[in-house]
Amino acid sequence: MKKHQVLLLLFSILNVATLKAKVEIASIFNDNMVLQQQMDVNIWGTASPNKKVTIQPTWTSTVFSTTSDKNGKWKTKISTPEAGGPYHIKISDGEEKVLSNILIGEVWLCSGQSNMEMPIKGFKNQRVDGSLKAIVTSADTQIRLCQIKRIASDAPQESCESEWKTCGPESVANFSATGYFYAKMLRQVLGVPIGIIEADWGGSAIEAWMSNESLQSITQQLKTSKNIRKKPQIQHLPNKLFNGMIHPIIGYGIKGVIWWHGANNSRQYYNYELLFRTMVNDWRNRWGIGDFSFNLAQLAPYPFNNVMGYMREAQVNCARNTPNCDIAILLDISDSTFMHGPIKEVVGERFAYIALAQTYGMKGFEYTGPIYKSMEIKKDKIRIFFDHATEGLTSYGKKLTEFEIAGKDKVFHPATAEITKEGLYVSSPDVPQPVAVRYAFQSFVTGTLFNTAGLPASSFRTDDW
């Protein structure tokens, strides 16, 4: 090899080494991001092995520092102040990088399947009510949106493709409608910057959002099913979406998660609560910031299959038996034409009611709909008791429908329901000695029972047949 070729080769090697030596920040951190306020938030990336890395935010005179490990990975925590900004952060290992236009506020992750994914502009031939006005009036420098690109992976990934954007017509049109409307209400009520991270995939199974370790820990407890997909899609396969879309952002400071999911697991409704609780516990353990809020939306009525009542019941049990978890009930926004109903603003707002009451401690209002508590047999009638109906019940003057009642023969008959001063009574002349009641337990129903806050009751059954 000639001398100039040797020199060129050495120069190339040195140049590559120099490039590798530059400090890098994990992909979830970029310009325009929102960091969770008043928290020791993680920040991480790569540099040369055993290299000192300094992080200097402009909201404090403190310089945070750490040292990369033998593989060049580094991670540390920086303390954030009360909500405010914009700020910037300098990260240096001798060569400086700057993250600009950063806000401090409240950060939430929204995840799930297609109803969470549905953008404000809608899907092809499927509208979102009020989308045009919402898009045109969406400009707000205090709301920031971050979409995680859909990536399925066999192994946990260290990075993902993501970009934080300031809220406005171009950025919001393709963003989760539910996520945006949620952010909008939080911003309006709390008066602080809001950051929303969207990580969802239409048609996904919950197993795809679970780590391999968490799923393996409950394999023996899961009930077997005959409903096995012959040709499962990538978003059905265990661990794939966790590896590609959740693992790269674990540790990013968040206040909580909103989750709209369940249709693709509905035929295995009897496993859903266990899967959900296991996933939530695993995510919380990996984030390492305690039992952060993890709220879910109940599936809205749709003629999907004949077990949707059981699935909605399973989702209520998810909320009831998971710490710091509540449910947004959607029994009144049914749409028999499309699984992706057009009323997304209502869903975002119902998620916000829960967060404002349960996460932010606001008082003076009800935050979710009536949930079945207990029953009492009164001769030929059954009285039903509810949680979340402190001020009583209403049907808005319309006839109560979707009620069924059964005797000891376990045969259900259409029933009459009546709201009295004492509560809700259900009866039928065909069942003189009733023992059980069901409400809105079919797949496609129209909710008619509400609390006085205007929030719909969940479907329920008093039996365990």
User: Do 244 and 337 share a domain, yes or no?
Assistant: yes
Boundary of a domain, candidates 300, 328, 359: 359
How far is CA 23 from each of CA 55, 62, 77, 252, rounded to the nearest angstrom? 11, 20, 17, 19
Partnered with residue 166 across adjacent β-strands are: 144
User: Do 346 and 377 share a domain, yes or no?
Assistant: no
User: Do 225 and 345 share a domain, yes or no?
Assistant: yes
Are 77 and 42 spatial neighbours (Cβ–Cβ below 8 Å)? yes
What is the maximal distance between C-alpha atoms in the chain?
A: 103
User: Do 178 and 297 share a domain, yes or no?
Assistant: yes
N-term to C-term CA, the chain: 83
Domain-located, residue 162: yes
Domain-located, residue 239: yes
Boundary of a domain, candidates 359, 383, 416: 359
Q: What is the pLDDT tens value at each position of the chain, 465 positions in all?
A: 555 554 445 444 444 444 455 899 999 999 999 999 999 999 999 999 999 999 999 999 999 999 999 999 999 999 999 999 999 999 999 999 999 999 999 999 999 999 999 999 999 999 999 999 999 999 999 999 999 999 999 999 999 999 999 999 999 999 999 999 999 999 999 999 999 999 999 999 999 999 999 999 999 999 987 666 668 899 999 999 999 999 999 999 999 999 999 999 999 999 999 999 999 999 999 999 999 999 999 999 988 788 999 999 999 999 999 999 999 999 999 777 777 889 999 999 999 999 999 999 999 999 999 999 999 999 999 999 999 999 999 999 999 999 999 999 999 999 999 999 999 999 999 999 999 999 999 989 999 999 999 999 999 999 999
Q: pTM for this one?
A: 0.94
User: Do 342 and 210 share a domain, yes or no?
Assistant: yes
* Residue 234: CB atoms within 10 Å: 15
User: Do 390 and 336 share a domain, yes or no?
Assistant: no
Domain-located, residue 391: yes
List the structure tokens of 166. 């300031």
Q: Which residues of 248-272 are buried (b: 16+ CB within 10 A; e: fewer)?
A: bbbbbbbbbbbbbbbbbbbbbbebb
User: Do 352 and 394 share a domain, yes or no?
Assistant: no
For residue 95, what are the contacts with CB-CB under 8 A and spacing of at least 6?
Answer: 21, 22, 23
User: Do 296 and 206 share a domain, yes or no?
Assistant: yes
Nearest to 263 by CA among 209, 307, 316, 317: 307
Here the CATH number for the domain that contains residue 317 is 3.40.50.1110
User: Do 126 and 242 share a domain, yes or no?
Assistant: yes
User: Do 232 and 269 share a domain, yes or no?
Assistant: yes
Domain-located, residue 441: yes
User: Do 209 and 258 share a domain, yes or no?
Assistant: yes
User: Do 348 and 388 share a domain, yes or no?
Assistant: no
The residue count of the chain comes to: 465
Are 205 and 186 spatial neighbours (Cβ–Cβ below 8 Å)? no
Q: Residue 321 is part of which domain span?
A: 105-359
**Burial class, 402, CB count within 10 angstroms (exposed 0-12 / middle 13-18 / buried 19+):** buried
Domain-located, residue 153: yes
List the structure tokens of 41. 């938030």
Cα 192 from chain centre: 20
